[in-house]
Amino acid sequence: MNIAVCVKQIPDPNVPGKLEADNTLDRSGKPQIDDSDMYGVEMALQLADKAGGGEVILLSMAPGGEVAGLRTGLAMGSARAVLVSDDALSGSDALSTAKVLAKAVERAGDVDLLLTATESTDGYTGTIPAQVAELLGWPSLTFAKHVEVADGKVTIQRQTEAGYDVVEASLPAVVSVTAGVVEPRYPSFKGIMAAKNKPVDQVTVADLGLDAGDVGWAGARQQIVSVGAAPERQAGEKIEDDGDAYTRVVEFLENLKVI
Amino acid sequence: MAVSKTWVFAEADGDKPTGTTLELLTKARELSGTLEAVYVGANADTLAGVLGEHGATTVYAVDPGDALPGVVGAAALASLIGEHAPDLVLFAQSYDGRDAISRLSVKLDRPVLTNGTSLRADGDQVVVGAAIFGGNTLVDTEFEGEAPFLAAIRPKSFAAEPGGGAPAQVVTVPAPDAGRAGETRVLERHVEEREGPKLEEAQVVVSGGRGLGSAEAYDPLVEQLAKLLGGASGASRAIVDAGWVPYAKQVGQTGKVVKPKVYIALGISGATQHMVGMKGSENIIAVNKDAEAPIFGIADLGVVGDVHKVVPKLIEALQARS
């Protein structure tokens, strides 16, 4: 079973983010794999292992031929990657990105299952999984907190407001996995060394058969009209616990009449 | 041309519209001449009164059977939009809302704006505001190109208020063929027992983070305190990622947005990604060992101390009162 995983390479989320003059994200820092995508990579490796074979293929769209984040996923054990990198993609919205990733799935070859996170940590639009599925004409099983594949079918536990639903579809299909669904492995030294020689198929928009006018700024059809600082919240009282700080908390709750 | 017809993708919790559905309808009353709802479920008749009270004159209803509601919803919307031509379709930033808006955007080849926390119409322009970088920056974005505009709005962005309308007229439409996507089946539904209020609706939310030290500390500290205060329990992304508690409890940018009367953060340092989900709370109490933790920058009452020492005493004091 061949499993593709969407992997976003993002600026370090612990460094405060900045926008460029054209309102795109400042990507000058060293990109890394989005933590949210580590779960998809790990899940893919486990499912491929269980199925007794097949490849795990990473799919990514990033400027400047960026592979730093892909190398992490390759070091974990993925076989290869497809990287779409093209100046024409600057300014792409979620729908354009989904069009690119859907083409990347086709480029990757015989894919039975596509795994994604539920949303990225930086842009967090959160629509890519079902958009890619719709573009491919595949079922989408979203917000999975448990995934099993057997007999050409994928079955998940889908997070709901009330609990979870057991949802099933036949392959090929798209599954978006929630954080914590599995515990991502740390790449071994051997894995890190091997990753350096694993193939990354770097392609352009034209290679995928897409029109540059349908992606990037040209395809976005939305315009940022203002950017401003959110109102700051002020810090209030701060106390050191001397053993009795709880009494101040009780008082605070009393004043608010919640107790 | 102003926005002359707005649709809301309605969702229900049992026999009641969800809070976000009513928030969206209330907001949309400001915008448009005609306001209608589209609902995927078998019980539209039981919702029609409340939907109408909040401004919807009509609810188009489609029964999904055991297919995923968002998938059926997108297919139904695509065909209804062809017929009725709304200018703007609003979705809740919810599990099914996200499925529906995503697939619909492809079917119509229209962009989406998601995670909205504000919405306004400027003539024929529709502007959606959203927070980025963990909530420290607000970005307003307008749609360009052809209507309908598709936007997903986060819960609690607006207040829900009835406007005194008559019950919405229910127009039942057949479930369309969604192709292979429509083959997805819901086999079982599990309702997890929840004591106390829902996380997004609770007056008091108690959340735990990495500072709890272990998964075992969550129940006796976070759950116990939440229960005593009649509140709901939440979590930072760090401990959801670590598998200590399920994703459903996550408060933050990727997770739920809460605006309770009191938010109590236990052992949470205050990553920007968490703060965006709770900084709209009326009052914030934080307990953390690290005096430099960013959470203290927004807390109304900050206690620099060990949650394992402060919280048991607090729980004991509260138990002694009841």
pLDDT, tens only, B182-235: 999 999 999 887 778 989 889 999 999 999 999 999 999 999 999 999 999 999
Residue percentage of chain A with pLDDT more than 70: 100
* Range B58-64 average pLDDT: 98
Calculate mean pLDDT across residues A29-46: 94
Contact A43, A176 (CB under 8 A): no
Distance from CA of A55 to the nearest CA of B (A): 24
In angstroms, the CA A158 to CA A163 distance is: 9
- A49, A115, A187 from A149: Cα distances, Å: 11, 12, 25
Average pLDDT over residues B123-149: 90
The token duo for B22 is: 């009513």
* Partners of residue B204 in chain A, C-beta under 8 Å: 258
Residue of A nearest to B239 (CA): A180
With CA atoms as reference, the chain B residue closest to A124 would be B254
Closest Cα in chain B to A92: B111
Minimum-distance CB partner of A127 among B112, B139, B179: B112
Q: Average pLDDT of chain B?
A: 94
Q: Does B160 touch chain A (CB under 8 A)?
A: no
Residues of A in contact with B313 (CB under 8 A): 246
Does the pLDDT of residue A249 top 80, yes or no?
yes
Give the span between the Cα atoms of B131 and B289, in whole angstroms. 29
State the maximum Cα–Cα separation within chain A, in Å, rounded to a whole number.
68
Q: What is the mean pLDDT of chain A?
A: 95
The number of residues making up chain B comes to 322
pLDDT for B32 beyond 80 = no
Contacts 24+ apart (CB under 8 A), B213-221: B213/B267, B213/B308, B214/B244, B215/B239, B215/B242, B215/B243, B215/B244, B215/B245, B217/B307, B217/B308, B218/B244, B218/B245, B220/B312, B221/B266, B221/B307, B221/B308, B221/B311, B221/B312, B221/B315
With CB atoms and an 8 Å threshold, state whether B187 touches A168: yes
Instruction: Give the phi and the psi of residue A255 in degrees, each rounded to 5.
Output: -60, -35
Q: What is the mean pLDDT of residues A51-56?
A: 94
Chain A contact present for B99, CB below 8 A: yes
Indicate the residue type of A10.
I
Other C-beta atoms within 10 Å of A236: how many? 16
Question: Does A16 sit within 8 Å of B180, measured CB to CB?
Answer: no
Confidence of residue A18 (pLDDT cuts 50, 70, 90): confident
Taking a contact as any Cβ pair under 8 Å apart, which residues of chain B between 236 and 255 contact chain A? Answer: 237, 240-243, 246-248, 250, 253-254
Chain A residues whose CB is inside 8 A of the B15 CB are none
> Does B215 reach chain A within 8 Å, measured CB to CB?
no
pLDDT in tens, A155-175: 999 999 888 999 999 999 999
Closest-CA distance, A109 to chain B, in angstroms, reads 20
Place of tokens 């959203």: B130
Cα–Cα dist B229/B24, whole Å:
30
Closest C-alpha among B78, B109, B101 to residue B151: B101
| Residues B148-186 pLDDT 10s | 999 999 988 999 999 999 999 999 999 999 999 999 999
């978006």: which residue's tokens? A176
A-B Cβ pairs (cutoff 8 Å, strict)? 275
d(CA B116, CA B119): 7
| pLDDT tens sequence across B229-270 | 999 999 999 999 888 998 889 999 878 889 999 999 999 999
B141 touches chain A (CB under 8 A): yes
**Which is nearest to B208 in space by CA: B132, B282, B146, B269?**
B269
Task: List beta partners, residue B265.
Answer: B207, B286
Percent of chain B with pLDDT over 90: 84
Name the pLDDT band for B46 (thresholds 50, 70, 90).
very high
CB contacts, 8 Å: A136 with chain B: none
* Contact criterion met (CB < 8 Å) for B187 and A128: no
* Least trusted range by pLDDT, from A100-104, B119-123, B187-191, B259-263: B119-123
Contact A180/B141, CB-based, under 8 Å? no
Chain centroid, CA B153 distance in Å: 8
> From the CB of residue A21, how many other CB atoms can be counted at a distance below 10 Å?
6
Q: Give the closest-approach CA distance of B187 to chain A in angstroms.
A: 5
| Complex prediction ipTM | 0.93
Write the burial class of residue A57 (CB in 10 Å: 0-12 exposed, 13-18 middle, 19+ buried).
buried
Nearest CA in chain B to A221: B144
- The minimum CA-CA distance between A253 and chain B, rounded to whole Å, is 8
Nearest by CB to residue B105, choosing from A17, A131, A258, is A131
User: Taking the model in full, what pTM does it have?
Assistant: 0.91
Of B15, B7, B94, B91, the residue nearest B48 (C-alpha): B15
Q: Which of A175, A253, A254, A255 to mutate to test the interface with B (most CBs of B within 10 A)?
A: A253
Read off the pLDDT of each residue in B298-303 and give the average, rounded to a whole number: 97
Contact A196, A71 (CB under 8 A): yes
Q: Give the torsion sign (CA, B27, B29, B33, B39).
A: positive
pLDDT of residue B312: 98
CA dihedral B39, B42, B43, B49 (to 10 degrees): 30
> Given an 8 Å threshold on Cβ–Cβ distance, is B103 in contact with A130?
yes
Q: Are B10 and B39 in contact (CB under 8 A)?
A: yes
- Closest partner residue to B283 (CB to CB) among A125, A228, A256 is A256
Q: How confident is residue B1, by pLDDT bands cut at 50, 70 and 90?
A: low
**Are the CB atoms for B232 and B199 separated by under 8 Å?**
yes
Cα B291 from Cα B295, distance rounded (Å): 9
B198 contacts on A by Cβ (under 8 Å):
161
Question: B239: distance to nearest CA of chain A, Å?
Answer: 9
Other CB atoms within a 10 A radius of the CB of residue A56 amount to: 29
User: How far are the Cα atoms of A23, B232, B266 from residue B228, in angstroms, in the given order?
Assistant: 46, 10, 15
Tens digit of each residue's pLDDT (9 = 90 or more) over A185-206:
999 999 999 999 999 999 999 9
The structure tokens listed for B221 are: 């500290």
- Which residues of B, range 29-58, sit inside 8 Å of A by Cβ? none
Can you tell me the distance from the alpha carbon of B276 to that of B97, in angstroms, rounded to the nearest whole number? 21
Residues 282-311 of B with CB under 8 A from A: 283-285, 287, 291, 296-306, 309-311
Residues 6+ apart with CB under 8 A from B105: A94, A95, A127, A131, B111, B112, B150
